[in-house]
Chain A
Amino acid sequence: MPILTRGSDIDGGAMKNPMNAAQLKRSYNIQRFLEGWSLFYENLVGRIGLILLMIFGLMALLSFIPPLIDPMYHPMTGVDPDISRSTPPSLHHWLGTDNIGRDLFSQLLTGARIAFLVGVSAAFMSIVFGTLIGMVAGYAGRVTDSLLMRFADIIMVMPSLLVVLLMASFFGQLNIWIIVLLIALFRWPGVSRVIRSQTLSLKQRPFIDMARVAGASHLRILFRHILPNVLPMALLYMTFRVTSAIIVEAALAFLGFGDPNTVSWGMMLQWVWKTGHMFQAPYWLLPPGICISLITLSFYMMGRAMEEVLDPRLRKEGQRL
Chain B
Amino acid sequence: MHFRQLILRRSLEILVIFFVILTGLFLLFHLAPGDPVSRMVDPSMTPEDADILISQLGLDQPVWLQYLYYVKNFFSGNFGTSFHYGRPVVSVIWERLPNTIVLFTTSVILSAMAGVFWGKIVAWYKGRPIDTWVTILSLVCHTLFLPWIALLFIWIFGYGVGWFPLNGMITPELWMNPKTGFFIKAVDILHHMLLPLFTLFIIHVGAYLLIMRSSMLETLSEDYILTARAKGLNEKQVRNRHAAPNAALPVVTSVGLSLAFSINGGALTETVFSWPGIGRELIFAVSNNDYPLALASFLFISIVVLVANLVVDILYAYLDPRIRY
Contacts and interface: CB of A to CB of B under 8 A. Distances in A.
Verify that A and B bind, or say they do not: yes
Interface of A: 44-45, 48, 153-154, 156-163, 165-172, 243, 247, 250-251, 254-257, 269, 273, 278-279, 282, 285-286, 288-289, 292-293, 296-297, 300-301, 304, 314
B271 A255 contact: yes
B145 A289 contact: yes
Contact of A166 (B28, B143, B145, B261): B28
A304 B260 CA distance: 22
Which of B144, B147, B267, B268 has the most chain A CB atoms closer than 10 A to its own CB?
B147
B32 A171 contact: yes
A159 B267 CA distance: 10
B302 A158 contact: yes
B149 A289 contact: yes
Contacts of A256: 287
Contacts of A289: 145, 148-149, 151-152
5 tightest A-B contacts by CB? A289-B148, A170-B32, A292-B145, A169-B286, A296-B143
A300 B29 contact: no
B294 A166 contact: yes
Contacts of B298: 162-163, 166
B314 interface: no
15 contacts: A153-B17, A154-B20, A156-B257, A158-B302, A159-B263, A167-B28, A169-B294, A247-B145, A254-B268, A256-B287, A257-B286, A269-B148, A279-B159, A293-B149, A297-B140
A154 B155 CA distance: 38
B132 interface: yes
B260 A160 contact: yes
Contacts of A172: 33
B205 interface: no
Contacts of A314: 214
B33 A171 contact: yes
A31 B148 CA distance: 43
A52 to B, nearest CB: 11
Contact of A243 (B32, B143, B257): B143
B45 interface: no
B147 A251 contact: yes
B139 A162 contact: no
B301 to A, nearest CB: 6
A290 B279 CA distance: 25
Interface string B260-293: 1101100110011000000100110111010100
Nearest to A290: B148
A273 B151 contact: yes
Contacts of A167: 28
Contact of A159 (B144, B145, B214, B260): B260
B302 to A, nearest CB: 7
B286 A293 contact: no
Interface in B29-73: 29, 32-34
A18 to B, nearest CB: 47
Contact of A165 (B33, B282, B305): B282
Nearest to B286: A169
Nearest to A163: B298
Given A159-B264, A269-B147, A285-B155, A300 B259 contact: no
Contacts of B25: 166
Contacts of B21: 154, 158
B169 interface: no
Given A157-B259, A159-B301, A278-B155, A169 B147 contact: no
Given A285-B155, A297-B143, A160 B264 contact: yes
B165 to A, nearest CB: 14
Interface residues of B, number: 53
A166 B29 CA distance: 10
Nearest to A251: B268
A152 B60 CA distance: 35
Nearest to A257: B286
Contacts of B279: 162
B222 to A, nearest CB: 13
A153 B305 CA distance: 13
A167 B145 CA distance: 23
Nearest to A189: B257
Q: Which one of A169, A282, A300 has the highest number of Cβ atoms from chain B below 10 Å of its Cβ?
A: A169
B17 A296 contact: no
B306 interface: yes
Contact of A293 (B136, B144, B159, B285): B144
Nearest to A247: B145
Given A157-B309, A159-B261, A162-B263, 7 more contacts: A45-B136, A157-B17, A158-B21, A160-B260, A166-B298, A282-B155, A292-B148
B32 to A, nearest CB: 4
A289 B285 CA distance: 26
A27 to B, nearest CB: 35
B299 to A, nearest CB: 10
A75 B36 CA distance: 39
Nearest to B279: A162
Interface string B92-132: 00000000000000000000000000000000000000001
A45 B267 contact: no
A190 to B, nearest CB: 8
A278 B260 CA distance: 29
B115 to A, nearest CB: 17
Nearest to A273: B151
Contacts of B132: 44
B142 interface: yes
Contact of B267 (A154, A157, A162): A162
B146 interface: yes
B154 to A, nearest CB: 8
A162 B155 contact: no
Contact of B139 (A153, A160, A292, A304): A304
